[in-house]
Amino acid sequence: MAALYSLKRMIILKSIWLRFPEGKRKALTLSYDDGVEQDIRLLELMAQHGVKGTFNINSGGYAAEGTVYPHGQISRRMSKSQCTQIYNSPFAEVAVHALTHAFLNSITPAMVMKEIIQDRENLENQFGKIIRGMAYPYGTYNDMVVQVLDQAGIAYARTVHSHLSFDMPSDWLRMGATCHHKNPQLMQLAEKFLNETPERDPYLFYLWGHSFEFDKDNNWNVIEEFLKTAGGRDDIWYATNIEIYDYNKAFENLQYSVDGRFIHNPSAISVWVQIDKDTIEIPAGQNVKLK
């Protein structure tokens, strides 16, 4: 009986679930491509509703300074100085979108490396920070491209695949999204996301697109309604793509004692976890003893 009692005392953790900062069970992020003028309006709307996102830029495709587009032109890339000003926002992360927006699966590994490394270096020098994220131009990639991205120091890369769910990524270099903003199920998915409370794995709503499409389709009301509905809530963590990636990795790197009584967080990010029914914080660089 004593041996059985000791065994029961050892096995105290039946489940460990990722929880976002402050114990939240849901996160929301956006991802928009190409560095176009419509991002100015999009970022204003995001800031208004407290929503964060990532903007994927081709640093080899900036418009010339002072460019004036013909009346009615929809796709209007910004200049380097415009991008520097606009994306210097607490609601925006800047990420790689390949130097010239090339079809990466149709060129050589060396060419892919140049597209990624040069874009990354340009953006790092421009914005004064390390750039580790990416979205695939045209959504094109293959195993070779993924391997090059890994060698180039890219932590995550977004595809154009919509899985219509709130699952956390399982492969960060082949990362899908919940949906594109054109998806007719957008608001239905948003209501489901807002109304459900995940009991186990947390929910991530990941929306992507191109902001020039709102002008092209004359439907700014779509993103306005979405942000008004999903933004500004206390139960959702609004984060950029790289913030979500880094937080997830910090969770994965937590260290546990054999008997489950101690948890050590070696990262510089405080992590929240749900242990059985209790939600607790594991502060950065600290050990926590479970009661």
Distance in angstroms (rounded) separating the CA atoms of residues 250 and 272: 10
**30-240: CATH class:** alpha beta
Q: The whole model's pTM is what? A: 0.94
What is the identity of the amino acid at 24?
Answer: K
Distance CA 256, CA 237 (A): 26
Q: For the range 269-273, what are the long-range contacts, defined as Cβ-Cβ under 8 Å and sequence gap of 24 or more?
A: 270/21, 271/247, 272/19, 272/20, 272/21, 272/22, 272/23, 272/24, 273/16, 273/17, 273/18, 273/19
Cβ–Cβ < 8 Å for 97, 58: yes
Q: Is 229 exposed, middle or buried (0-12, 13-18, 19+ CB in 10 A)?
A: middle
* pLDDT of amino acid 12: 58
Which amino acid type is present at position 284?
A
Strands 53-57 and 92-96: parallel
Provide CB contacts within 8 A for 193, sequence distance 6+.
26, 28, 166, 178, 203, 205, 230
pLDDT tens for the 291 residues of the chain, in order: 444 434 444 555 679 999 999 999 999 999 999 999 999 999 999 999 999 999 999 999 999 999 999 999 999 999 999 999 999 999 999 999 999 999 999 999 999 999 999 999 999 999 999 999 999 999 999 999 999 999 999 999 999 999 999 999 999 999 999 999 999 999 999 999 999 999 999 999 999 999 999 999 999 999 999 999 999 999 999 999 999 999 999 999 999 998 878 999 999 999 999 998 899 999 999 999 987
pLDDT of 14 reads 79
Quick one: how far is CA 82 from the chain centroid? 23
Q: What is the pLDDT of residue 5?
A: 39
Sign of torsion over alpha carbons 273, 47, 178, 156? negative
Neighbouring C-alpha atoms within 13 Å toward the C-beta of 20: 20
Edge-to-edge strands, sheet with 16-19: 16-19, 271-275, 278-282
Q: What's the confidence (pLDDT) of residue 4?
A: 40
* 210 contacts 137 by C-beta, under 8 angstroms: no
Tokens of 257: 């004692």
Q: Tell me the three state secondary structure of residue 114.
A: helix
Q: Are 27 and 205 in contact (CB under 8 A)?
A: yes
Contact between 181 and 229 (Cβ < 8 Å): no
CB of 204 closer than 8 Å to CB of 225: no
Q: Token pair for residue 7?
A: 């065994």
The predicted pLDDT at position 261 comes to 86
State the virtual CA torsion across 168, 249, 13, 204 in degrees, nearest 10.
-20
Q: Output helix, strand, coil percentages for the chain, rounded to the nearest 5.
A: 35, 25, 40
Q: Which residue's entry shows tokens 């964060």?
A: 52
